[in-house]
Amino acid sequence: MQELKALSEERAPKWLIGLTAIAFMAVAGAQVFGFITSPAAEQYQHSQKIMYVHVPAAWNAFLAFIVVFWASLVYLWKRSEGADLLAESAAEVGAVFTGLTLLLGSIWGKWAWGVWWTWDPRLTSTAVLFIIFVGYLALRSFTEDPERRATWSAGVGIFGALNVPIVYMSVRWWRTLHQVQSSPETMSAEYVTALRVNGIAFLLLLVAVLGWRYRAARIQRRAEALHEEAILEGRQVHV
């Protein structure tokens, strides 16, 4: 099978390798930048630096779920395989960043609030978002028929992504322990700059991991399709 052989030998695109290297260096560099330029905050002391990983992780999670939302809609509309694989990739990446956000928030909470966890609406809705996408991934792994899997998970993906605005607005809509979003007016300039730098670095990381996850899914799916094609055409196949 020429095509399968070519597929198995396909090299990762250069831009993806380059972007990954840049993203790792950017994150490390942004963190060093944050540590050097941010003086200990009033009251918060150095714990303020946790913001540079917690907040970008949350932004990445939100962005990943927006990708899930969009890709799921495209799938339902056009039935394109690529959209389904992109939704799957973004869902996994989003779940990882949501998990990271929860862990980092917990560390922050223990220091600043005095508790690792509390069932306030922000924390609860974030946990719900996490559980929905873990469920999304479980649903995918349990459903074997590709079309049914894609349709069902598109539904769950859209539904799950609708929680992003709920999580985001939870601190304004309900009473929470979690503070409302900061803005450049509520933060000293050096913190705003460092947070932005770290946010951009994390964004590069998001694109990179999404790229790799999508690549793996595409090769896997393409191999399955080529194999099936070969069987249907009655060619000799080894397994």
- Note whether 154 binds other proteins by CB under 8 A: no
- Note whether 130 binds other proteins by CB under 8 A: no
- 205 token code pair: 């990381």
Among 73, 74, 203, 215, binds other proteins (CB under 8 A): 215
Cβ contacts of 223 within 8 Å, gap of 6 or more? 4, 7, 8
Q: Nearest CA to 107 among 118, 117, 98?
A: 117
Smallest separation, CB 152 to other proteins (Å): 7
Among positions 16-35, residues that touch other proteins (CB under 8 A) are 27, 31, 35
Among positions 69-98, residues that touch other proteins (CB under 8 A) are 96
Among 19, 26, 53, 55, binds other proteins (CB under 8 A): 53
Among 84, 121, 157, 164, binds other proteins (CB under 8 A): 121
Smallest separation, CB 221 to other proteins (Å): 9
Q: Give the integer Cα–Cα distance in Å for 74 and 80.
A: 7
Whether 47 and 114 have beta carbons less than 8 Å apart is answered as no
Among positions 155-174, residues that touch other proteins (CB under 8 A) are 156, 159, 166, 170, 174
Q: How far is CA 120 from CA 34, 54, 75, in A?
A: 29, 18, 35
Largest CA distance in the chain: 73
Smallest separation, CB 70 to other proteins (Å): 21
Cβ contacts of 127 within 8 Å, gap of 6 or more? 102
Q: For other proteins, which is the closer residue by CB, 8 or 78?
A: 8
Q: Give the integer Cα–Cα distance in Å for 232 and 212.
A: 30
x/- track of binding to other proteins for residues 173-212 (CB under 8 A): -xxxx-xxxxx--xxx-xx-------------x---x--x
- Note whether 229 binds other proteins by CB under 8 A: no
Q: Give the integer Cα–Cα distance in Å for 5 and 9.
A: 6
Part of the chain binding other proteins (CB under 8 A), chosen from 61-69, 70-78, 79-87, 137-145 = 137-145
- 124 token code pair: 């609860």
Part of the chain binding other proteins (CB under 8 A), chosen from 64-72, 73-81, 131-139 = 131-139
Whether 107 and 50 have beta carbons less than 8 Å apart is answered as yes
Among 17, 66, 112, 207, binds other proteins (CB under 8 A): 112
Q: For other proteins, which is the closer residue by CB, 7 or 73?
A: 7
Among 47, 82, 168, 196, binds other proteins (CB under 8 A): 47
Q: Give the integer Cα–Cα distance in Å for 100 and 5.
A: 38
Cβ contacts of 40 within 8 Å, gap of 6 or more? 46, 48
- Note whether 14 binds other proteins by CB under 8 A: no
